[in-house]
């Protein structure tokens, strides 16, 4: 299925997150561990997420990334400024103009949507930023059919 791709204006979003490096084979495990840890921390603080979990990938055109090592920051949006603890840090997802695509299907096919975004941006002569993030709209623990999973991809424009 061809993804819906468009330019949007994104609001800056306060977050709580953990930043780690991961290779392709460890991303899913690390994400799951980080999401559970942050969610437990938020519950202990009496907080609830302001939206679904995200993964923010930094410097995606770097040499390390081209060799399969990703600088990723996983977490949850929060409704306002918050304080982290230990390696859980307060931060933000950036605001501004971004290319947005909606991926429908399993995470293993996200690369197809990324390829479509890069081709679309090249055709429109849009320079993509060095960072991007994914927002996971579907909880795989609740929706077992991966063909129905929805992931939003945001890629800021330079």
- Contact predicate 139/145, CB 8 Å: no
CA distance 110 to 71: 17
- pTM of the shown model: 0.92
The number of residues in the chain equals: 158
* Tens-digit pLDDT profile for residues 69-82: 899 999 999 998 89
- The pLDDT, as a whole number, for residue 1 is 63
Contact 135, 51 (CB under 8 A): yes
What is the pLDDT, as a whole number, of residue 140? 85
SS3 at position 111: helix
**Domain-wise residue ranges, the chain:** 4-156
DSSP letters, 39-93, are HHHHHHTT---SS--EEEEE-TTSHHHHTTEEEEEEEEE-SS----BTTBEEEEE
Report the CATH number of the 4-156 domain: 3.20.80.10
Whether the pLDDT of residue 63 is over 70: the answer is yes
Model pLDDT, residue 99: 98
Average pLDDT in the 31-44 region? 96
Convert the pLDDT of each residue in 72-118 to its tens digit: 999 999 998 899 999 999 999 999 999 999 999 999 999 999 999 99
């Amino acid at each position: 299925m061809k993804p819906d791709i468009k330019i949007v204006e994104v609001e800056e979003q306060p977050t709580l997150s953990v930043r780690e490096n991961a290779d392709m084979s460890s991303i899913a495990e690390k994400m799951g561990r980080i999401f559970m840890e942050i969610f437990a921390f938020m519950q202990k603080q009496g907080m609830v997420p302001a939206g679904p979990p995200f993964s923010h990938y930094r410097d995606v055109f770097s040499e390390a990334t081209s060799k399969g090592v990703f600088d990723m920051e996983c977490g949850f949006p929060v409704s306002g400024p918050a304080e982290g603890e230990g390696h859980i840090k307060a931060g933000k997802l950036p605001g501004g103009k971004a290319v947005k695509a909606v991926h429908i299907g399993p995470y293993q096919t996200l690369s197809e949507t990324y390829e479509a975004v890069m081709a679309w941006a090249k055709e429109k002569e849009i320079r993509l930023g060095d960072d991007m993030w994914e927002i996971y709209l579907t909880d795989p623990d609740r929706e077992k059919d991966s063909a129905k999973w929805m992931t939003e991809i945001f890629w800021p424009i330079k």
